[in-house]
Structure 1
């Protein structure tokens, strides 16, 4: 049960509060938004030529259930500092509103889901009109404004001028089934975000059916328990007035107790059928029957549909009642397909109106099917309201700060001794605070409760943890405390709860501040590599929306030998290659990690920038094996090769085989080369730092992209083309394409099974990526080549 202090029901005399004239204008605009959104989808499916016959699609019913909410928000409550995330299937509503506000040219209204036209779902990077948040992946777009609020606050604390607007999410009730929703609601950073406002379009339908259970009360309690303000808009003014009449209390109790499917079925009834069905059975049937008998057909049908989410006055009151000291959720009861012939039908999710239905709708909404895009007449109250709102919402331009210059090399001496690439992460961040303080001031790290275990401890001690208010560090005077948890507004690390989805959601928004407020950040998120898969979808969506960030997965692979199969990542390297808008790196040495991280940071916060994924390891490796050249020019050449994807770590005069290895397996590749040489078979050893960039270079050489291809000739020159053995701590297909660079035979070694606990030696042997396995694979290729040469001779 939600307490009165936590939840308020808005409605009743809303028409008096908002003003009759304003309500009339807003209602007229709502009807035009309903028409335009329906017509946009109709044109894409029924009018526009479709030679292939492939279904175009669109969601007229889902758009219709949102029109009242969107109209009340845009034309009453919204300010230019606010941002709105619109549920995916209501994208035509957003485009219709932008058209009425003069932010979308009429020519685009016929291009929904056409190439180069309006996207299927709101897209910040691809739609021609203003879109604040990309949506489409259910639950992720809804939570984005939460992370947008945090990003805005971070920018404002550190650089100022980020505004104070609200962050709205208009989401469908089915999105509340998504775990990402509740991970965000419960994160400890969220309860203080008073600018966050969610409006749930509670139409009680999913894609295939009417949701059978009444879940609203349970959801309200869950939000209230998380510290949110809960506002419920269940009934509109007509129903509220009916409830005050004789029999009204019984009618309200009847509807309150009614299951969703029964209520939806009543929406499909005629007035006579409604009079027979609505009273139900029992002692209250008589008073209800008397009440509905007193109503005219049109009044009865209108009252049943008069839910709070379609009452403009109740909606405007709700937006005015938002408590800006804590997050707010508004549960707005709606009818899916409201105002359309398909309203309330359980299979109306993707249904489309016929030509006759469209003509009838046009007549009822006072529009013209033959002139579907007609604007409001000049001088009309609606046109004046649209012009006034457009002026109010027009955002001034902002001066964009250029991304900070990031050094490409910190000029550290060639490393010696034993170290791992994970350690290099924290060291590079600390070095940047001394050698490139302007760039370091833009770095913000994010972690889901794994800061110390991923080597960020030194960085945290240096820069502090970000909090909107300073909090005491109660362990500051404890002599045994190594990690100092100083929380203050100037901190540059954000610590979330353990949910990886929240981590990458925030990364996406921190990575978009360069385009929202002209303040570029360099966000780095650190997560255990086995959980990159869990985080990949929302991170990918953030990249799609224009967010640029670095995701660090560490520790990684079956190299985590004692941890067992549950914590050994297999597919992450290839996923990095497959992710658009992202460069993946897996360095083997600490100096390689430094160069790759600096290159990735240099690509952030700019219009032509990109994200990066770094896969790091905790395996101790002898750093002298990197053989970093001492000559400055040779060192720079090595650095360029490292950041381009690969370098020849060891060369010989006449190689008969090439060993191309990545990351933690470089020691095995070097040991295998030594043993092969002892057997009389010299081998080149190539250290692959980015299979992603090598694949792009290969595509460019084939004319399939504009990426640079020079690295292929430098590292895999034609005159040194030999059979290849590839090896990595991950799925072997990650490097399988290397054989196509010179059309050479290739044997790919890697991990294709769940791991085992044990020592590195035992686990590597189990998966066939140990030194013995590399030597055996190379000898097989040498023998095969020898046999082929004999046959050719």
Structure 2
């Protein structure tokens, strides 16, 4: 076991002693019952459920076992109702077992792990029937969620102090292998995190990953990395039972031997017969042979030695209780708790125990050791027993007041400004946000923007100048007296923009938690994150997981596609249009014109931060486009009709009778000038070309899917407006992204079709050259139409 200095003050009382007002013997009884319930939950899902599919149900009894004592110390002593805890994915059965004993989960759910309508494979805030504070299962993301939740709570409390409830600690329980994930270290290293004293991470240091015993845990390196980021590091290596042996003559030699042996050798001790332990601990010491160590080992009964070598800090309930109570709350803390994977099970310490299931004989033996039975596996404690009284008391302590209902917010449908000059959708977003402060202050007060060091280059400067930058702590603005400064970067707890470092994963993690404040604290926020669109893919998985966990936000990818031609292939996004269309819990938008941008963003804002809400992804451009090309009707009724069509997914720009149409050109986003120019060129040849502008291929796809829905789908029917069923015509679709995004339109009427877009890596060019290179220029669009017409 790799050595590290003890950094926790460990009380000296023996095993079974009371720690403060806690009876450790009762906690141990609870822990044994939780171990049984967690194991039985997995057992019932596999051996107790008919399964003729050939697909295993699975579950993780050993991974759960190593976390049992840590969770019992927290739920049955350390937590209060204000605390929020993220639980290691593979320990979900432990969470459900604890919730059951606390009266938060009916026994009928316990046999339903990984079953439809039952307990989820990993803790799910949105899909499990009991209390789950954070969804986990995406390694690294669930653990870091507590960090962003702590920051989100500080933000919302600073903005709405009178109505936002207090919070306690934000606790992550994670496995040591999870520290391999880069997302962990991106989050830990963010400068603002060092001020979050409400953060507590507990690492289940069982020294095993899925496939093996980890050969070199390098805890000193990990601890140094946390310390360098400003965290307090506490290491719980040994429990008090073996600590008593260390205090005897020869004990220091025993400690040195135990701490110098490789992880694999230590794990082998756990699998050895107790009669072999003394010899294995002695090993081949050669010149280092210590008579005092031999004498100590000879004096210790085999059963006691077997218990002692398993006595790690992560299984000493009294030590855990004292440690959690003594944590310094002025800075974030990480506790490295040494544990044994499979603790208390026949699979204890086996290098391949990750997914191994106990057989019937082993389950029967565990039931007997736990004071229960396979015939009645879900029985709780007698109400008048010490464990029963403790469970009842802790259930009352942890009962949370209901989250207040989210207040109503009237987001305007439009701000009423004219859009007459050519402007990019990226610039239009910046103007919209800046105008929002004056034109719709109640909505603006709920908006919080985030970016990974690209705020100014994504046009948030006007918004930042009006609202300021939010920070965990006030910072002096040394450029406040610089008259030539255009961007006023004043950091305080009253600002509404949060700037993180160049780490997109961090930003979407924060977006997810800012977007969950309506359900956690009853305060609605409208979080908007701006990214360079080529890097959306980097942040996609954690953003998607945040959506799954109930976080609602608006992700803005800008600039997008090859339209930012001089930047070259490294900054040209291809696949993001279909990413947006395929992302659950999200509506994807790609408006072409400034007025479309305004309408669509306000619609997206209206949908964020509410029980029936949804997230949004906007793909924007830096290319100025003349709004006159959209031919927005001048009369109020016509303008409103256009707005409704735009927020439904698209509209027709041409106003001729679709029955006269020989070909239909469908465009999205920044390429609309080329689409309209191609239609004009075709018109010069006597060809009537209709032009459709899509603001959201996503919503049009949904309209396509809901057409003819026998269950009464709630689609807008916009597809029939765009492509009238009675007037088929060949289609040419064009977008600055992968052409397959719009391929579904061929199924609307069975039209022949050509899909134009970007399917290759780009290069640095001028804009005309980029469009010509990828075949989305005027000539290519017109030629595709002529080909379909046989001309």
TM-score range, shorter chain: over 0.9
1:707 maps to 714
1:179 maps to 182
2:38 maps to 37
The structure-2 alpha-carbon separation of the partners of 1:284 and 1:228, relative to structure 1 and needing over 3 Å to count, comes to farther
Instruction: Give the deviation of 1:321 after TM superposition.
Output: 1.4
Structure-2 separation of matches of 1:565 and 1:606: 39
* More displaced 10-residue stretch of structure 1: 75-84 or 274-283: 274-283
Structure-2 separation of matches of 1:100 and 1:548: 32
1:606 to 587, 598, 610: 610
1:502 maps to 506
Structure-2 separation of matches of 1:596 and 1:737: 22
* More displaced 10-residue stretch of structure 1: 620-629 or 179-188: 620-629
Structure-2 separation of matches of 1:657 and 1:70: 65
Structure-1 separation of matches of 2:708 and 2:65: 48
1:217 maps to 220
1:302 to 280, 295, 307: 307
SS class of match (2:127): coil
1:600–1:611: 8 Å Cα contact kept in structure 2?
yes
1:478 to 463, 478, 482: 482
1:787 maps to none
Alignment of 1:70-89 (within 5 A): 70-89=71-90
Determine whether 1:660 maps to 2:660: no
2:151 maps to 150
The structure-2 alpha-carbon separation of the partners of 1:532 and 1:14, relative to structure 1 and needing over 3 Å to count, comes to farther
2:524 maps to 520
Structure-2 separation of matches of 1:745 and 1:267: 69
* More displaced 10-residue stretch of structure 1: 427-436 or 394-403: 394-403
Structure-1 separation of matches of 2:489 and 2:55: 57
SS class of match (1:495): strand
1:370 maps to 375
Determine whether 1:311 maps to 2:312: no
Instruction: Give the deviation of 1:109 after TM superposition.
Output: 0.4
1:529–1:615: 8 Å Cα contact kept in structure 2?
yes
1:402–1:606: 8 Å Cα contact kept in structure 2?
no
What 5-or-longer segments of structure 1 have no aligned partner?
785-793
2:18–2:24: 8 Å Cα contact kept in structure 1?
no
2:464–2:489: 8 Å Cα contact kept in structure 1?
yes
* More displaced 10-residue stretch of structure 1: 691-700 or 47-56: 47-56
The structure-2 alpha-carbon separation of the partners of 1:364 and 1:140, relative to structure 1 and needing over 3 Å to count, comes to same
1:442–1:521: 8 Å Cα contact kept in structure 2?
yes
1:80–1:392: 8 Å Cα contact kept in structure 2?
yes
1:687 maps to 693
Instruction: Give the deviation of 1:400 after TM superposition.
Output: 1.9
1:731 maps to 738
SS class of match (2:156): helix
Structure-1 separation of matches of 2:46 and 2:292: 47
Instruction: Give the deviation of 1:759 after TM superposition.
Output: 0.3
Structure-2 separation of matches of 1:705 and 1:550: 29
Structure-1 separation of matches of 2:673 and 2:12: 74
1:454 maps to 458
Q: Structure 1, residues 223-259: CA drift from partner, whole Å, max 9, x if none?
A: 0111001010000011111111122111111111111
Q: Structure 1, residues 406-430: CA drift from partner, whole Å, max 9, x if none?
A: 00111112x2222100001111112
Alignment of 1:739-750 (within 5 A): 739-750=746-757
Determine whether 1:196 maps to 2:196: no
1:403–1:605: 8 Å Cα contact kept in structure 2?
no
1:343 maps to 348
1:587 to 591, 595, 598: 591
* More displaced 10-residue stretch of structure 1: 595-604 or 247-256: 247-256
TM-score scaled by length of structure 2: 0.97
Instruction: Give the deviation of 1:721 after TM superposition.
Output: 2.1
2:272 maps to 269
2:120 maps to 119
Q: Structure 1, residues 297-336: CA drift from partner, whole Å, max 9, x if none?
A: 2111111110000000111111011111100000000000
1:678 to 676, 684, 702: 684
Instruction: Give the deviation of 1:102 after TM superposition.
Output: 0.3
1:7–1:229: 8 Å Cα contact kept in structure 2?
no
SS class of match (2:790): helix
Structure-2 separation of matches of 1:2 and 1:676: 77
Instruction: Give the deviation of 1:51 after TM superposition.
Output: 2.9
1:23–1:313: 8 Å Cα contact kept in structure 2?
yes
The structure-2 alpha-carbon separation of the partners of 1:288 and 1:20, relative to structure 1 and needing over 3 Å to count, comes to farther
The structure-2 alpha-carbon separation of the partners of 1:17 and 1:387, relative to structure 1 and needing over 3 Å to count, comes to closer
Structure-2 separation of matches of 1:528 and 1:8: 44
1:14–1:237: 8 Å Cα contact kept in structure 2?
yes
TM-score scaled by length of structure 1: 0.97
Q: Structure 1, residues 762-790: CA drift from partner, whole Å, max 9, x if none?
A: 11111111111111111011118xxxxxx
Determine whether 1:639 maps to 2:643: yes
1:757 maps to 764
Determine whether 1:260 maps to 2:266: no
SS class of match (1:524): strand
Alignment of 1:557-572 (within 5 A): 557-572=561-576
Structure-1 separation of matches of 2:4 and 2:462: 45
1:10–1:231: 8 Å Cα contact kept in structure 2?
no
Instruction: Give the deviation of 1:162 after TM superposition.
Output: 2.6
Q: When the two structures are aligned, how many residues end up with a matched partner?
A: 782
Instruction: Give the deviation of 1:287 after TM superposition.
Output: 3.4
Structure-2 separation of matches of 1:569 and 1:165: 42
1:91–1:122: 8 Å Cα contact kept in structure 2?
yes
1:69 maps to 70
1:241 to 227, 241, 244: 244
Determine whether 1:166 maps to 2:173: no
Instruction: Give the deviation of 1:716 after TM superposition.
Output: 1.1
Instruction: Give the deviation of 1:450 after TM superposition.
Output: 0.6
Q: Structure 1, residues 580-636: CA drift from partner, whole Å, max 9, x if none?
A: 000000000111110110000000111110000000000111221121111111111
SS class of match (1:170): strand
1:279 maps to 282
Instruction: Give the deviation of 1:21 after TM superposition.
Output: 6.2
1:543 maps to 547
Determine whether 1:768 maps to 2:744: no
2:534 maps to 530
1:400–1:517: 8 Å Cα contact kept in structure 2?
no
2:558 to 554, 578, 592: 554
Structure-2 separation of matches of 1:630 and 1:289: 96
Structure-2 separation of matches of 1:331 and 1:526: 36
SS class of match (1:288): helix
1:97 maps to 98
Structure-1 separation of matches of 2:672 and 2:263: 61
Q: Structure 1, residues 151-190: CA drift from partner, whole Å, max 9, x if none?
A: 1111111112331300000000010000000000001121
The structure-2 alpha-carbon separation of the partners of 1:241 and 1:369, relative to structure 1 and needing over 3 Å to count, comes to same
1:123–1:133: 8 Å Cα contact kept in structure 2?
yes
Structure-2 separation of matches of 1:669 and 1:644: 21
2:192–2:472: 8 Å Cα contact kept in structure 1?
no
Structure-2 separation of matches of 1:296 and 1:430: 75
